[in-house]
Structure 1
Amino acid sequence: MKRLVILGGGESGVGTAVLGKKQGYDVFVSDAGEISAVKKEILTQHEIEFEEAKHSNEQIFSADIVMKSPGIPDSVQLVKELKAKNIPVISEIEFASRYTNATIIGITGSNGKTTTTALTHYILKNEVNAVMAGNIGDSFAMSVAIESPDYYVLELSSFQLDGIKAFKPHIAVITNITPDHLDRYNNNFEEYIAAKFRITMNQDENDFLIYDGDDPVITDWISSHTIKAKQLPFSLTKTIEEGAYVTNNTININLKNKSFVMPTINLGLQGNHNVKNAMAASTVAKLLDIRKQTIRESMEHFQGVEHRLETVLKINHVQYINDSKATNVNATFYALDSMLSDTVWIVGGVDKGNDYDELLPLVREKVKAIVCLGVDNTKLMNAFSPCVDLMIETQSMSEAVKIAYKIAERGDNVLLSPACASFDLYENYEDRGNQFKQAVRSL
């Protein structure tokens, strides 16, 4: 019996443990921190051995294969030692993909990947047996363990792609690439770009790569690297022979023998970034022969994802907006750009090597006050204090919301769009967004 050791007892780790057990492995889970009560319950239920608050060498180095949770970087000493001993270290995505025959649609990008994944799944599920997993919903491994759909729509982070060897989506989507997670990639943007493009590394000429043809980072990389998959760009600015583009406020999709048009005004989600998400999702749907009427109706009715520019409440004519999922500068750029009235902006968290320069013109134009929400706000204070008259530091969500409430006037927005990771004060961006909503409802 082969021994599978799993580093990390979170969503990916526990999903892999359940799938590994089902596939006949001797499974052991090791987490340097604490494993949540819910996850422990699942492990116990499946009679899977685990340890927490430590890594025992004798347990770990007896592995035939190790699955490393995406949050653990390759630079960790334990991972280096495993590789030195020639023990294969893979990602959950790689492991799970070995046990499904479903057609895989893999979606990555710095921003827009959650919305594009959710929208693609929303369209497909109306006609085919499709499941959404990965960085959204259940882990891919847990899903493979408990269900067997015909299609998987996977949201994939660069961390998840770092550990793939043979993983090969039939359709890959790269929504865009902007600097993010540079702390993980030795502050080297090129390394991060290469991680994103791993999504297409095993594809061949029977597969498809859909990407933003307006994104200079993506187009530069493609022009200097060999890609075997059929390339289908989408663009807001130029006419595309095979792919998707916009003319006269209408989305046009041209594929071999297949076409599709839809006015952008009919989209359930507005804004240029959502037009791009819609082009990516509908290109996938056309490749899979989903009916035009289904695509149109789905895109008209789709209302977006939680924690992404989610309107919470209007109080005293002030709109409160939860964009907790904006964990990088580019995502916050979209959020600020979409604000149509004066905005009190709640920002901050764990800085991932952010460069705030691109936000300065928008902040000058749209933001009347900034409420900082992080353990260390020095960099934010230095970047934005010349742009706004009022900047206030806070240490809790309820305090931040109460201060925003006092500052905001009739017709204003209060926007939580942190541009940073959440791990200094919260479990994850969902926890941060839920605390924001709770604080707003408690006003």
Structure 2
Amino acid sequence: MSKRIVVLGAGESGAGAAVLAKVKGFDVFVSDKSAIADKYKEQLDKYQIVWEESTHTDELILNADEVIKSPGIPDKAPIMKAIIEKGIPVVSEIEFAARYTDAKMVCITGSNGKTTTTMLTYHILKKAGLNVGLAGNVGKSLALQVAEDNFEYYVLELSSFQLDNMYDFRANIAILLNITPDHLDRYDYCMQNYINAKFRITQNQTPEDAFIYWNDDPIITEEIKKRHIDARFFPFAEIKEVGVKGYTENADLVIEAPESDAFSMELSKLALSGTHNLYNSLAAGISAKLLQIRKEKIREALGDFQGVEHRLEKVTRVRGVEYINDSKATNVNSCWYALQSMKTPVVLILGGTDKGNDYTEIEELVKQKVKAIVCLGVDNSKLHKFFDGKVAVITDAGSMKEAVDKCYQLSDKGDTVLLSPCCASFDLFQSYEDRGRQFKECVRNL
């Protein structure tokens, strides 16, 4: 009798995992507590996979030999408690997919900069002519690509939630960009639990593998001292330090990896600007060098990359005011990077679902650069409690249109209106993408 696999959640990762399980001959059942999108229903039907939506039927789930869980489902969900109580093994889609491919895995995690670094790394590898897939939090599901394609390399963006249910998976190149408080609501408000999740990217690495990380992140450097990691270390930093393999010197980006063959490029020629993007370019550049991609290809790709939607994305200029969509800034540190890169007075849109945020991190930058805050959320009391009296104007908006209209009135020629909310989007929007697109549409309608 074939092993029974139950997939919880039928989004991109769940539907893909179900297809791969079916292709590999398992008895597959998919269950989603919400409605399943039509495109995923079609995908499941095409492979004759049995599914249910808007409910979880215990007797069809608790007879599983293994459960593949969508990263969005917390362990405290009732169905998960029942699964854990029965001792049924639970894995992530990435863990499951990796069993069926020998492709080299370049994996990126961190509290901020993951998507940009992932897309940039993928762009370099693709430009160099490698047979490469893009997966994880971006692109198509890894499991679906393993089922339907035959890539030799994958570039994966991995969230802490995905890493939580990864056990035997091995990253050939692991990139850890930074660790700042995020998603603490999922980690019992314990920072160490979140740090442990991020460091799972290094588990199972061998001396043949590489661990690329930001050398000036105090949490990462402290944590490395406490852990045994077998991979070779390739730290990067803004300025040259002992042992650092990627840095800047004399207006150049320099990468000394492998040691015998240094790479350099003028900073002014990088497609991405700002300190945080320098780190993203260094991390992507080191991974490309380790994969022995030719220097001219790396140079070309770092110079013509188009950036990521909703991450410091310039929308347009209206009446001499620049509008920037940074909807992907769902935590305080992300907003800090955005504010740090601002050169003009800012009208800042903040708010949404608070994940246990501490706003002291951006307090000084707000005092220096922000002339007005527009709070866009169902409950803005925490924002008011912290920022009232610290900026000249603080006001509320109940919709994106109202927020953009208020920013239009509060801004003067030469200012920047910045949507960098610090919070999740789920109180007023379907996702940070929905929030960002509504912002762009409202700005273009001004």
TM-score class, shorter: over 0.9
Residue 11 of structure 2 corresponds to 10
1:317–1:410 Cα contact (<8 Å) kept: yes
Residue 444 of structure 2 corresponds to 441
Q: Distance in 1 between matches of 2:93 and 2:184?
A: 22
Residue 269 in 1 paired to residue 285 in 2? no
Residue 423 in 1 paired to residue 426 in 2? yes
SS at match of 1:239: coil
1:199-225 per-residue CA deviation (whole Å, 9 max, x = no partner) reads 001111111100000101000000111
2:275–2:341 Cα contact (<8 Å) kept: no
Q: Distance in 2 between matches of 1:303 and 1:10?
A: 27
Equivalent residue letter for 1:256:
E
Residue 64 of structure 1 corresponds to 65
Equivalent residue letter for 1:386:
G
Please say which of residues 84-93 and 185-194 is displaced more in the overlay. 84-93
Residue 413 of structure 1 corresponds to 416
Residue 344 of structure 2 corresponds to 341
Residue 194 in 1 paired to residue 196 in 2? yes
Equivalent residue letter for 1:247:
E
2:68–2:96 Cα contact (<8 Å) kept: yes
Residue 319 of structure 1 corresponds to 322
Residue 388 in 1 paired to residue 386 in 2? no
Residue 285 in 1 paired to residue 288 in 2? yes
5+ unaligned residues in a row in structure 1: which ranges?
none
Equivalent residue letter for 2:122:
H
Equivalent residue letter for 2:345:
D
SS at match of 1:236: strand
Aligned positions of 1:90-129 closer than 5 A: 90-127=91-128, 128-129=130-131
Equivalent residue letter for 1:434:
R
Q: Distance in 2 between matches of 1:430 and 1:21?
A: 31
Please say which of residues 260-269 and 218-227 is displaced more in the overlay. 260-269
Structure 2 length as normaliser, TM-score?
0.97
Residue 332 in 1 paired to residue 332 in 2? no
Q: Distance in 1 between matches of 2:225 and 2:178?
A: 16
SS at match of 2:186: coil
Aligned positions of 1:98-177 closer than 5 A: 98-127=99-128, 128-177=130-179
Please say which of residues 18-27 and 277-286 is displaced more in the overlay. 18-27
SS at match of 1:137: coil
User: CA offset at residue 242 of structure 1?
Assistant: 5.5
Q: Distance in 2 between matches of 1:171 and 1:109?
A: 14
User: CA offset at residue 256 of structure 1?
Assistant: 3.4
Out of 189, 206, 209, the residue aligned to residue 207 of structure 1 is 209
Residue 378 in 1 paired to residue 381 in 2? yes
1:286-338 per-residue CA deviation (whole Å, 9 max, x = no partner) reads 10000000111111111211110000111111111100111100000011111
1:79-130 per-residue CA deviation (whole Å, 9 max, x = no partner) reads 2322232211111110111111110001000001111111111111112111
Q: Distance in 2 between matches of 1:143 and 1:387?
A: 50
1:327-360 per-residue CA deviation (whole Å, 9 max, x = no partner) reads 1000000111111111111111111110000111
Residue 38 of structure 2 corresponds to 37
1:162-188 per-residue CA deviation (whole Å, 9 max, x = no partner) reads 000101010000011111000000001
1:13–1:92 Cα contact (<8 Å) kept: yes
1:233–1:240 Cα contact (<8 Å) kept: no
Structure 1 length as normaliser, TM-score?
0.98
User: CA offset at residue 58 of structure 1?
Assistant: 0.7
1:103–1:152 Cα contact (<8 Å) kept: yes
- Identity fraction in percent: 54
User: CA offset at residue 240 of structure 1?
Assistant: 4.1
SS at match of 2:170: coil
Out of 232, 241, 252, the residue aligned to residue 250 of structure 1 is 252
Q: Distance in 2 between matches of 1:9 and 1:389?
A: 46
Equivalent residue letter for 1:115:
T
Question: How many aligned positions are there?
Answer: 443
1:258–1:286 Cα contact (<8 Å) kept: no
1:239–1:246 Cα contact (<8 Å) kept: no
Residue 84 of structure 1 corresponds to 85
Q: Distance in 2 between matches of 1:200 and 1:98?
A: 17
> Considering only aligned residues, what root-mean-square deviation do their CA atoms show, in Å?
1.2
SS at match of 2:378: coil
User: CA offset at residue 157 of structure 1?
Assistant: 0.3
2:235–2:243 Cα contact (<8 Å) kept: no
5+ unaligned residues in a row in structure 2: which ranges?
none
SS at match of 2:146: helix
Please say which of residues 323-332 and 136-145 is displaced more in the overlay. 136-145
Residue 230 in 1 paired to residue 235 in 2? no
Q: Distance in 1 between matches of 2:220 and 2:198?
A: 10
Please say which of residues 251-260 and 206-215 is displaced more in the overlay. 251-260
User: CA offset at residue 32 of structure 1?
Assistant: 1.3
Residue 306 in 1 paired to residue 309 in 2? yes
